[in-house]
Amino acid sequence: MYSILKRYSASLTLLLVTIIIIIIISSISIAYGHGLGTDISPSITISDKEVSVEASINPTFLDQVPSSEPTFIVRALDDPTRNSTIPGIDFRIVVELNNEILLDQRFRSSDGVVKANLIPDRNIQGWEVNGQAKPNEHIEVSQSNPVELQSRILTAGGLYHIMVIIEESSAGLAVQFDQKFDLFVSIGTSYMFGVQTPQGEEQMVVKTYYDEITNFDYSNKTIKFEMPFTWEHTYVDQVPVLHTEVQFPKTIEELQTNSYRGTLNNRELEAQAVVIDDYTSEQNRIVHFVVNNAMLHRIEETLDDSETAVFTLAPAEKPRFPLDILSLPGEKFLFQLSWGPDIIETGVPTTFVMNIQDPATGDLLRGSSFDLVLIQDGNEIHSTHMSSEFGTYSYEYTFSKAGTVTLAANNINSQGESAKIDVVVQQGTGNPNPHPQPPQSQCLIATAAFGSELTPQVQYLRYFRDNYILSTASGTAFMKIFDSVYYSFSPQIAEYEREQPWMQSTVKVALYPLFGILMAAERVHVAVGGGEVGAILAGVVSSMLIGAVYLLPVGYVASRHRRVVNKLLAIIVGAATAILAITVVALDVLLPLSTVTFVLAATGASAIAVARVIKYLVYRQ
């Protein structure tokens, strides 16, 4: 019996290690391509040079073509950080859009730059360079000596696939064979649609950076549209972010809300993927769909073969926090906002929680400051200066008049940058607290580590808890006991943590494996269709990985006793059987005890199993 358990422990450990490796690899993979107007390839080593290729098309939006001087530029770089090009390069450049070849031409560049002044021509067949149709020979070109290129480039928006080949004939680079670089450049296009609203006929605009918008519809307060998109794993790998934006007049009252519910192919999008912009236009509200690579992969894994992205946007009953607002005009800061109670009403104190981040890194900006301004009906109703050593802020305000109020963070860090959003204030009932809300459980230790409850890391923990754990009876039962234990000590630890930067850094590093573990559990939950079965299997994966990662020292001590291993493995089987049976018959009173027993047994058994295999491998050598 012991030999069987020993082989089981080893197999279990190898499985855990494999899953961890997969998580790490998937977490650090880098997707290039799909830049707005420009893209740069990853570098490869050629003749002791780190060579990369950059391609750009200007302007970046199709609407701007008639009023600009369009250009197409390709550069061979020997060090992207120094922005230096490689002279004496022979290029073959192929440009495709929607699987149609718009250009396939060879160039010889004395300075490593191919610059073409574009003449967009929707009716041309093929292309012309300096008035010559499809030249066979290399065309001499440089930054100071551009060519004239007449083609269908910039006659349509979408995702341009640019294949750049540095040929072995290049005099300035010892290329043993042709080197191919694939780049993807997005050109935006606006699509306008007339819709019927309670205020009469209005115009909505969808801006896309990938492909044409089709099947637009507005009904039941919901905007819906489609665009071509290839839901294949290898293609999604190359898409860092899928970005479209919807514009509609602020006069459409049924769409004036503090938050929106967005979906992509019937999958709910996270709050960070639906971003409100009330700053760019005084007349229109702009809502951005910003779906990052991780979200795209989670959706792709749940879809069968599909060639379409279907978006929907509708007002949310309650806001989904945090709201991300990029500062303008320089986009130097990210302003994150949430508030409570969820519904803002007159006469009821509203607490706004805010932070300032670096949009490039997501780091909180310590020592930041801004002017918090509230504007209603064109008049400033409140203003205060705010500063924080930690970059996080909390401010309480009671509104006296219902309607739309513009909340603005002005002059951020004294750099003239501003971020603003329109919030809707409803008429209160006169009761100082007409809709009391139960206090929301907080991730106190994680919040102290990352500096704010609005950071993406803390929001992900909350998202996982609310959408995967609390969505089932077994998960809710487990959280009842977990919360009673966690909140008995976490406030004191969090308070001490805030005062000790070294501890903040340590806890932050220690939490990162947990994010990978929860992502693995999330994928298991989705793969089996969710529900109680999905929650139980996700609990198995997360509990065993947590035990293997965090409880390994405890497992090492316990692994010295063989009987302990047998008992814990037996408990796992018994607890799993018990929780499944209890779930089926819905004996809620026993769920808290059985779920906690199950989790403790799984974490303990995996820690011991990993420790025993490590000891076996070490002593064998």
Three-state SS for 322-380 is CEEEECECCCCCEEEEEEECCCCECCCCEEEEEEEECCCCCCECCCEEEEEEEEECCEE
The pLDDT averaged over each successive group of 10 residues in the chain (621 residues) is 32 36 32 64 88 94 91 90 87 93 97 96 95 95 96 92 95 92 91 92 91 93 94 84 91 89 92 84 90 88 88 87 84 88 89 86 83 94 88 87 93 94 84 44 73 68 74 73 76 79 84 84 76 76 81 72 56 57 54 69 74 74 58
- d(CA 144, CA 87) in angstroms, rounded, equals 13
427 and 403 Cβ atoms separated by less than 8 Å: no
CA distance readout (Å), 596 to 227, 538, 541, 574, 605:
46, 14, 15, 13, 14
- d(CA 206, CA 168) in angstroms, rounded, equals 44
How many Cβ atoms from other residues are within 10 Å of residue 75's Cβ? 25
- d(CA 111, CA 144) in angstroms, rounded, equals 9
Task: Quickly list H helices, 255-339.
Answer: 293-300
- Taking the CA of residue 379 as centre, how many other CA atoms within 13 Å lie in the half-sphere pointing to its CB? 4
What six digits make up the tokens of 146?
Answer: 């551009």
* Furthest CA-CA distance within the chain: 86
At the second CATH level, the architecture of 323-425 is Sandwich (2.60)
Whose tokens are 């819906």? That residue is 224
pTM over 0.75: no
pLDDT at residue number 584: 42
Beta strands in 31-99 (DSSP E): 35-36, 38-40, 44-46, 49-58, 71-79, 84-85, 89-97
98 and 116 Cβ atoms separated by less than 8 Å: no
398 and 349 Cβ atoms separated by less than 8 Å: yes
- d(CA 140, CA 117) in angstroms, rounded, equals 14
Using CA atoms of 81, 82, 86, 91 in order, give the dihedral in degrees to the nearest 10.
Answer: 40
Task: Report whether the peptide linkage leading into residue 146 is cis, meaning its omega lies within 30 degrees of zero.
Answer: no
How many Cβ atoms from other residues are within 10 Å of residue 576's Cβ? 17
Residue environment code for 29-40, b if the CB has 16+ CB neighbours within 10 A, otherwise e: eeebbbbebebb
Whose tokens are 């006169």? That residue is 430
3-state secondary structure of 579: helix
261 and 209 Cβ atoms separated by less than 8 Å: no
pLDDT at residue number 452: 66
Helices (H) and strands (E) in the chain, counts: 12, 33
217 and 194 Cβ atoms separated by less than 8 Å: no
- The H or E element that residue 161 is part of is strand 158-166
- d(CA 355, CA 455) in angstroms, rounded, equals 9
Same CATH fold assignment for domains 210-315 and 323-425: yes
- d(CA 160, CA 180) in angstroms, rounded, equals 16
Q: What does CATH list as the number for 210-315? A: 2.60.40
Q: Which of 221, 267, 277 has the alpha carbon at shortest distance from 246?
A: 277
* Secondary structure of 195-216 in HEC code, one letter for each residue: EEECCEEEEEEEEECCCCCEEE
- d(CA 382, CA 375) in angstroms, rounded, equals 7
Residue environment code for 309-343, b if the CB has 16+ CB neighbours within 10 A, otherwise e: bbbbbbebeebbbbbbbbbbeeebbbbbbbbbbbb
Please write down the long-range contacts of 237-240, taking CB distance under 8 Å and 24 or more positions apart: 237/29, 237/31, 237/293, 238/31, 238/32, 238/33, 238/34, 238/184, 239/31, 239/33, 239/34, 239/293, 239/296, 240/31, 240/32, 240/33, 240/34, 240/292, 240/293
- d(CA 321, CA 314) in angstroms, rounded, equals 16
pLDDT at residue number 562: 57
Whose tokens are 């109703």? That residue is 381
pLDDT at residue number 493: 84
pLDDT at residue number 390: 66
- d(CA 393, CA 458) in angstroms, rounded, equals 16
pLDDT at residue number 510: 86
3-state secondary structure of 167: coil
301: CB partners within 8 A, 6+ apart:
523, 526, 527
Q: Which of 139, 220, 178 has the alpha carbon at shortest distance from 51?
A: 178
In DSSP terms, which residues pair with 262 in a beta bridge? 313
3-state secondary structure of 319: coil
Q: What does CATH list as the number for 35-186? A: 2.60.40
Amino acid at 146: P
Q: Which of 269, 315, 267, 317 has the alpha carbon at shortest distance from 289?
A: 269
What residue segments make up the domains of the chain, in order of their start?
A: 35-186, 210-315, 323-425, 444-620
